[in-house]
Structures are given as C-alpha cells and as structure tokens.
C-alpha cells in the first residue's frame, strides 16, 4: 500500500518594500494576526526592520517590515533607505506594495528599478483597493505589468480590511524554499519588550504631534527591569523621547504634561495586552540637537 509522504515544510524570509505610507506595517500586522509593527498615516513611520512571523503546519513566513524607500533629506533617511534596499538580496521573496488609490509615480518607479536589478522573486500587491474603484485597480495592475516590471504574481488587496490578503499569503508561501522552523510555534515577533515599548510610545506621540515633529522624534528604552510586587510581576521600563529642539520638547510634553501622560498611558495599555503582564513606563524627554544628521547619534540610537 502506498502511503503518501507528508508535504515538505517550507519557510523563508519575505521583505515588504515600497514607498512610504503604502501600508506595509498594516499588512504585516494583518498577516501575523496581531500588532507587531506600529502604524501611522505619517510617512516613514517604520525606521527599522520589524520581523513578524506567521506559522502554519506547512509553512513559516518571516516578514520584514522595511522602512519606506524615499528620496532622503537627512543621514537618517539615507540609512533607512539602505536598510530597506539591502534586504532585497537577502530574502527568499519580495512583496512590492503600491497604492490603488494614488497614481503610480516616481517613488514607485524608483523602487521598481531596484527590484528589477535583483533575482529574488517579486510579488506585487496593489493595496487599498477598498479606497479605489474597480477601474482604478485594473488600471494599476495593467500599468504595473507593462511599466514597473515583470513580477511573479499580481494581487489586489486591502491590508486594512483583509480583502485578498490570504491570496497574497498563498502567493508568498508558494515561493518559499524547503526549510526549518526559524522561530518556535507561537512566536509572532522577535522584537524585545524594550523595542516594542519605545515603538508604541512613538506611535502614540505621532498621533498627537504637529506636522513638523514626527521625524524629529526618536524613542528608546534605556533600562528595563522585572520586579516582583505584592500585586504580582511588573515590567518596569525607563523610556527616553529625544527631540531636536527645545520648542519640540514642549510639544511632546504638552500643557501640564498632558500629551506625554496620554501617550504613555495608551502605550502602556497596548504593551500590557501584547505581553500579558503589568507594565510601568517611566517617560523622559531630552533635547538632542540635529540627531538625524549626526553619525554618532544615529549609531547610538541603533540606526
């Protein structure tokens, strides 16, 4: 009697690339099934590679939510671009994202040119179809196929609503090589608690900060301690918010400390949900003039 063999387990790394604000972080969170990457309508929110992990009985997708590729104006911008572009040759599949509700422009073509220079399979995802007409989606797919490159697959999706995401995942999984479990069952991200805390604080500040402030904010966790209290375990984190000018410090703190307190409270609630433990956040704001343009400051902050 012939007994069919179990399908070979497939696993690999997928880099999500595209210009800023096309929905990469939202898609990572959607695929993983929980929040592992902060989301904002401000461009260039993601500054580092955030790994999200989706594991099924047959596959494991390790997703790299890369910074949006853009024309840089600071040393920070140059370094985030470099981080995004260096992943292209190091992963098994690339997911190139464009928006259905905006014209295909120079930024998309800039990314496409760099993708055409690598041999890694590229799956094109046309995102935000919930905010576009059927005609616009069809036009984007046609233009992408003739002007941006010859891609392995073309998938219209809405990362926010979930439409088409399982189809996209199937296209990505189909191109994974046989491989091991890179992460144990149940792991959805490899980001440490301190990184998650800093990112959640930054996300909350981006919601309330003025237009000129978002790119001037850097948030880092300086100290972290597990404490035993009468109410049970407590994770205590000392988080520093850096800005470039004294005037920005006042914006971040807010009148009577209201802005910083609100951001800290909302970030703490999200972190407690993610980690399943009580959290204490100690927030401080420091002025670090022109940190985005100083190599030493960027090195110190991990950029």
Q: Can you give the CATH number for the domain in which 213 is found?
A: 3.30.300.20
205 found inside a domain: yes
From 250, 187, 243, select the one nearest 215 (Cα to Cα). Answer: 243
Task: Give pLDDT, residue 30.
Answer: 94
Same domain, 215 and 156: no
Query: Whose structure tokens read 């695929």?
Result: 31
pLDDT confidence band for 34 (50 / 70 / 90): confident
Of 143, 173, 203, the position where a domain reaches its end is: 173
> Residue 135 is encoded by which pair of tokens?
């005609």
pLDDT confidence band for 73 (50 / 70 / 90): low
Same domain, 166 and 67: yes
Same domain, 145 and 231: no
Q: What domain range is 28 assigned to?
A: 10-173
Same domain, 145 and 85: yes
Same domain, 91 and 226: no
Of 173, 204, 224, the position where a domain reaches its end is: 173
pLDDT confidence band for 93 (50 / 70 / 90): very high
Instruction: Read off the pLDDT of each residue in 263-285 and give the average, rounded to a whole number.
Output: 84
Instruction: Count the domains in the chain.
Output: 2
CA count, 13 A, side-chain hemisphere, 124: 27
Pick 119 or 274 by higher pLDDT. Answer: 119
Same domain, 66 and 116: yes
Pick 217 or 208 by higher pLDDT. Answer: 217
Same domain, 122 and 19: yes
From 231, 242, 239, 287, select the one nearest 265 (Cα to Cα). Answer: 239
- Asked whether residue 77 carries a pLDDT value surpassing 90, the answer given is no
Instruction: Read off the pLDDT of each residue in 159-168 and give the average, rounded to a whole number.
Output: 96
Provide the mean pLDDT of the chain: 81
Of 173, 207, 223, the position where a domain reaches its end is: 173
d(CA 224, CA 138): 50
Q: Which residues contact 64 (CB under 8 A, 6 or more apart)?
A: 13, 14, 15, 16, 49, 50, 51, 87, 91
- Could you tell me if 136 and 22 are in contact, meaning their C-beta atoms sit under 8 angstroms apart? no
d(CA 166, CA 223): 39
Same domain, 158 and 206: no
178 found inside a domain: no
Task: Give pLDDT, residue 42.
Answer: 45
Instruction: Read off the pLDDT of each residue in 150-162 and give the average, rounded to a whole number.
Output: 95
Task: Give pLDDT, residue 41.
Answer: 47
Q: Which residues contact 238 (CB under 8 A, 6 or more apart)?
A: 221, 222, 223, 224, 282, 284
110 found inside a domain: yes
Pick 79 or 140 by higher pLDDT. Answer: 140
Task: Give pLDDT, residue 210.
Answer: 52
Same domain, 100 and 136: yes
99 found inside a domain: yes
Same domain, 169 and 26: yes
Same domain, 216 and 132: no
Pick 84 or 275 by higher pLDDT. Answer: 275
182 found inside a domain: no
CATH number at residue 76: 3.40.50.300
105 found inside a domain: yes
pLDDT confidence band for 47 (50 / 70 / 90): very low
pLDDT confidence band for 259 (50 / 70 / 90): confident
Q: What Å distances lie between residue 97 and 31, 117, 123, 289, CA to CA? A: 14, 17, 9, 34
Pick 42 or 12 by higher pLDDT. Answer: 12
- Asked whether residue 247 carries a pLDDT value surpassing 70, the answer given is yes
Q: What angle do CA 186, 192, 193 make, to 5 degrees?
A: 100
Same domain, 261 and 291: yes
130 found inside a domain: yes
181 found inside a domain: no
Instruction: Read off the pLDDT of each residue in 144-172 and give the average, rounded to a whole number.
Output: 94
Cα 251 to the chain's mean position, in Å?
Answer: 25
């Amino acid at each position: 009697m012939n007994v069919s063999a179990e399908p070979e387990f497939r696993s690999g790394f997928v880099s999500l690339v595209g210009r800023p604000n096309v929905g990469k972080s939202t898609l990572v969170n959607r695929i993983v099934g929980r929040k592992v990457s902060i989301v904002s309508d401000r461009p260039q929110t993601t500054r580092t590679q955030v790994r999200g992990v989706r594991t099924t009985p047959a596959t494991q997708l390790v997703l790299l939510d890369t910074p949006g590729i853009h024309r840089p104006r600071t040393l920070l911008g140059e370094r985030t671009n470099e981080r995004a572009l260096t992943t292209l040759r190091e992963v098994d599949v690339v997911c190139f994202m464009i928006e259905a509700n905006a014209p295909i422009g120079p930024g998309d073509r800039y990314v496409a040119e760099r993708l055409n220079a690598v041999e890694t399979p590229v799956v094109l995802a046309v995102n935000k179809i919930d905010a576009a007409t059927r005609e616009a989606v069809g036009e984007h797919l046609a233009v992408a196929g003739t002007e941006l490159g010859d891609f392995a697959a073309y998938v219209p999706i809405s990362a926010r609503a979930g439409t088409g995401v399982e189809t996209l995942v199937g296209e990505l999984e189909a191109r994974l090589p046989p491989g091991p479990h890179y992460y144990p069952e149940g792991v959805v991200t490899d980001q440490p608690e301190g990184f998650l805390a800093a990112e959640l604080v930054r996300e909350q500040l981006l919601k309330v900060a003025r237009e000129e402030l978002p790119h001037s904010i850097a948030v880092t966790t300086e100290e972290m301690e597990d404490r035993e209290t009468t109410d049970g375990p407590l994770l205590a984190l000392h988080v520093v918010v850096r800005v470039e000018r004294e005037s920005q410090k006042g914006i971040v703190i807010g009148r009577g400390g209201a802005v910083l307190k609100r951001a800290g409270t909302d970030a703490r609630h999200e972190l407690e949900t993610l980690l399943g433990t009580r959290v204490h956040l100690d927030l401080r704001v420091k002025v670090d003039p022109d940190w985005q343009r100083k190599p030493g400051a960027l090195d110190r902050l991990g950029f």
